[in-house]
Amino acid sequence: MERRDFLLGMGIALVSASAYSFGNSLKPLIDENLGKTALIYGTRYGATEDTAKWIAKGIGDGVDILNIENINFEEVVDKYDKFIIGSGIWIDGAHKRLMELLSMHTEEMESKIIASFIVCGTTGEDEAGKGRIEGYFKRFHKPLAVKPKIQRHFGGRMIIEKLSEKDRKLLDNFYTKVLKKEFVSWDRTKPEMSEKFGVELLGEKIAIL
Ligand SMILES: Cc1cc2nc3c(=O)[nH]c(=O)nc-3n(C[C@H](O)[C@H](O)[C@H](O)COP(=O)(O)O)c2cc1C
């Protein structure tokens, strides 16, 4: 082999070797970061679950969607670096098990919660509604000294035939006697708006990537 070819060959080998090792040194970083954000949601009738999935779609890869009813608290708290928490609102309150998670693991979680969202019937179109939504967030975040920087509320849904008998009776009474409104089914979920929120979160560089 000519000296020039030899040197050229060595050069190519060195470049490939360093590219290989650069690739390898990046790999654990990327792998580590993938799946390190958990979107944990609490739902009863499905609107919060749907909203969680639409938000995750906006974020893209790198977020695990977890139903609070199916997780082991310790495992999840250990595994993830960032959390997005979301809950439906029933009689003024968030999901009981999600509240338990926040109360039991406050210190490990509070600085890692990058966003929270609620799914409810209150629209926030008037001042009274805005105040009620603020109250829901306050109660939802009560265990946390550090509040999530980003908060968003979404419309939920209520399909009368899907409600448990107890909820149906309670709500029928509430609508007809307190609100003095006809008790009818409604759906205020917004797939596009929820997905857009996910895109916004990604734009906030929520350290998924
Ligand atoms: C029993 C019950 C109580 C509710 N209480 C409230 C409430 O206090 N405030 C509110 O804004 N929405 C209330 N809603 C509406 C829910 O927030 C809405 O249906 C939401 O979609 C629930 O989330 P999910 O579909 O994931 O269960 C209530 C719904 C039910 C079924």
Q: Which CATH class is domain 35-203?
A: alpha beta
Tokens describing residue 13: 């080998």
pLDDT at position 202 is: 87
**Least confident range of 1-10, 105-114, 144-153, 157-166:** 1-10
Residue 98 beta carbon below 6 angstroms from any ligand 1 atom: no
Give the Cα separation of 141 and 137 in Å (integer).
6
Report the pLDDT value the prediction gives residue 29, as an integer from 0 to 100. Answer: 38
Cα(65)–Cα(40) distance, rounded to whole angstroms? Answer: 6
pLDDT category, 62, cuts 50, 70, 90?
A: confident
Interval 35-44: pLDDT, tens: 489 999 999 9
pLDDT tens-digit map of 87-135: 999 998 999 999 999 999 999 999 999 999 999 999 999 999 999 999 9
140, HSE (Cβ side, Cα atoms, 13 Å): 32
Probe residue for ligand 1, chosen from 137, 157, 158 as the CB with the greatest number of ligand atoms within 8 Å: 158
Residue nearest to atom 10 of ligand 1 (CA): 121
- Ligand 1 centroid–CA 89 distance in Å is 5
* Distance (Å, whole) CA 171 – CA 179: 10
